[in-house]
Amino acid sequence: MAPVKVSASILSADFSHLLEDCQKAVDAGADMLHMDVMDGHFVPNISFGAPVIAGLKGKINVPFDAHLMITDPNKYIPDFAKAGSSYILFHEEVSGNATETIKLIRQNGCKPGMVINPGTSEETLKPYAKDLDYVLFMSVWPGFSGQSFIPDVVPKIAKFSKWASQEGLSLYIAVDGGISPKTAPLVVEAGANLLIAATAIFKAPDMKEAIHQLKTAGNKN
């Protein structure tokens, strides 16, 4: 099994010391920084946009994955590409034409990822999986950090990851929402290879230990 990677969601960072907090997470072992972009329409919260990501560009030596929780992702893909995102993640629920969105992300020099909400079937991802670098299973309803993990995501990940390996696909199978050292083993055993966490990293008493526990979540038995 390939080693599990961790992306630290900056939504729980201290925004008055954002660069320092991001560097702390990377020094503690985070492989990526997860940027939760919210527009107050697709989700009932507003977070930050491309300028915040651009402010970190070139100052932190890990890829950024921009999670666009916005109703019109196509309109803003060039901005998030320019801001320094390596991966651009859009929600299946708002993509009128996912093939077009995937193409647009690639044309802007980024790697595409498709996200599904807790209520969306993993079957939705399959027609696009070959063209994706990243699929993301939400294990909370998006909008806020600090919510409880929804366990219904586990069988969805298991079904998708089994299918993906039968198809010989190699892509990130990520999970986002309520991921902690307690819930991580459930999703890693189901086949997840990228864990996204905000609270469990930025609010941990020992960030290095927290990230270590997430990365070794599959080694328990």
Catalytic residues: 36, 176
Q: Inter-axis angle of helices 73-82 and 98-107, to 10 degrees?
A: 20
122 binds Zn ion (CB under 5 A): no
| 178 three-class SS | coil
Q: From residue 108 to residue 147, what is the string marking binding to ligand DX5 with x (rule CB under 6 A)? A: --------------------------------x-xxxxxx
Distances (CA, A) of 133 to 97, 102, 118, 151, 194: 18, 10, 20, 24, 12
Distances (CA, A) of 28 to 25, 85, 163, 196, 201: 5, 21, 33, 15, 9
Give me the sign of the Cα torsion angle 126, 131, 133, 138. negative
Nearer to ligand DX5, 164 or 195 (CB): 195
Which of the residues 156 through 195 are near Zn ion (CB under 5 A)?
Answer: 176
Residue pair 98/114 in contact (Cβ under 8 Å)? The answer is yes
215 binds Zn ion (CB under 5 A): no
11 binds ligand DX5 (CB under 6 A): yes
| Residue 118, binding choice from Zn ion, ligand DX5, none, Cβ under 5 to 8 Å by partner class | none
Nearer to Zn ion, 67 or 215 (CB): 67
Nearer to ligand DX5, 132 or 204 (CB): 204
| Residue 89, binding choice from Zn ion, ligand DX5, none, Cβ under 5 to 8 Å by partner class | none
Q: What counts of helices (H) and strands (E) characterise the chain?
A: 8, 8
Closest CA to 102 of 129, 140, 69: 129
Please name the residues in contact with 51: beta carbons below 8 A apart, sequence gap of 6 or more.
Answer: 83
85 binds ligand DX5 (CB under 6 A): no
Nearer to ligand DX5, 78 or 181 (CB): 181
176 binds ligand DX5 (CB under 6 A): yes
- Per CB under 6 A, residues contacting ligand DX5 are 9, 11-12, 34, 36, 67, 140, 142-147, 176-179, 196-200
